A and B are shown apart, each in its own frame.
Chain A
Amino acid sequence: NAGVMQNPRHLVRRRGQEARLRCSPMKGHSHVYWYRQLPEEGLKFMVYLQKENIIDESGMPKERFSAEFPKEGPSILRIQQVVRGDSAAYFCASSAGSGPGSSYEQYFGPGTRLTVT
């Protein structure tokens, strides 16, 4: 009964390197949301994807950040040329669909803690 899986759990990158974060949704879920959490803050929405489609990327920075959810394999959040301000915890959540109601609740993974040195 695997929940949402994220890897790596911790990632250290030097400024200018690329960070690649992976998220495998719960079994049977095909909708993925990515959120970012800064220290002492709540989570902030970044992007919402369904298989092979980006549905809403209104919370994603315009540059250096991209996300994908291929037909096969995990969803990936990619940060190019990382800067110190990218240091944060990145969480993904999966759901069975999109909409209000108990059928579409979002379940979170354990997060990836990115540190940029």
Chain B
Amino acid sequence: GQQLNQSPQSMFIQEGEDVSMNCTSSSIFNTWLWYKQDPGEGPVLLIALYKAGELTSNGRLTAQFGITRKDSFLNISASIPSDVGIYFCAGQRDSGAGSYQLTFGKGTKLSVIP
């Protein structure tokens, strides 16, 4: 099935540092989304991107939808301890029959050292 390549797989950073992670695909998506998952919980939507080239911010988070529609990145500025968790990228397109299922990357596990 379709795979999204998400990197890095894990990161250890100092509190206050900026973080960058990205996602690439061999196929085009119409929408890119970034989710955060805490242990034992479901994914929570952070940012959604709907247009190629779009740059969107949500507080300390900034994400971009690549021009080719095959990639996206997420930046977190001035990290804090509560940023710890697993970040997933997801691509969305009509897979046929009106099903807009999400295709997920394998996640980036972020650890913040106080």
Question: Which positions in A face B, CB cutoff 8 Å?
Answer: 4, 33, 35, 40-45, 48, 55-56, 58-59, 91, 93, 98-102, 104-111, 113
Q: A45 near B103 (CB under 8 angstroms)?
A: yes
Q: How distant is B75 from chain A, measured CB to nearest CB, in Å?
A: 20
Q: How distant is B28 from chain A, measured CB to nearest CB, in Å?
A: 12
Q: A111 near B31 (CB under 8 angstroms)?
A: no
Q: A100 near B88 (CB under 8 angstroms)?
A: no
Report if B82 contacts A (CB, 8 A).
Answer: no
Q: A33 near B97 (CB under 8 angstroms)?
A: no
Q: B99 near A109 (CB under 8 angstroms)?
A: no
* Nearest opposing residue in chain B for A106, CB measure: B102
B34-68 CB contact bits vs A (8 Å, 1 = yes)?
01000011111100101000000000000000000
Q: How distant is B49 from chain A, measured CB to nearest CB, in Å?
A: 11
Q: A107-B45, A111-B41 are in contact. Are A45 and B102 (CB under 8 A)?
A: yes
CB within 8 A of B45: which of A43, A91, A105?
A: A105
B41 partner residues in chain A, CB cutoff 8 A: 110-111
CB within 8 A of B98: which of A35, A41, A43, A55?
A: A55
Q: A44 near B104 (CB under 8 angstroms)?
A: yes
Q: B104 near A108 (CB under 8 angstroms)?
A: no
Distance, CA A102 to CA B4, complexed state (A)? 22
Distance, CA A105 to CA B46, complexed state (A)? 11
B95-114 CB contact bits vs A (8 Å, 1 = yes)?
11111111111110000000
A93 partner residues in chain B, CB cutoff 8 A: 102
A-B contact pairs, 24 of them (CB 8 A): A33-B102, A40-B106, A42-B4, A42-B104, A43-B102, A44-B1, A48-B101, A55-B98, A55-B99, A56-B95, A58-B95, A59-B101, A93-B102, A99-B98, A100-B31, A100-B93, A105-B33, A106-B45, A107-B45, A108-B43, A108-B44, A109-B42, A110-B41, A111-B41
Q: A42 near B88 (CB under 8 angstroms)?
A: yes
Q: A42 near B101 (CB under 8 angstroms)?
A: no
Distance, CA A93 to CA B100, complexed state (A)? 12
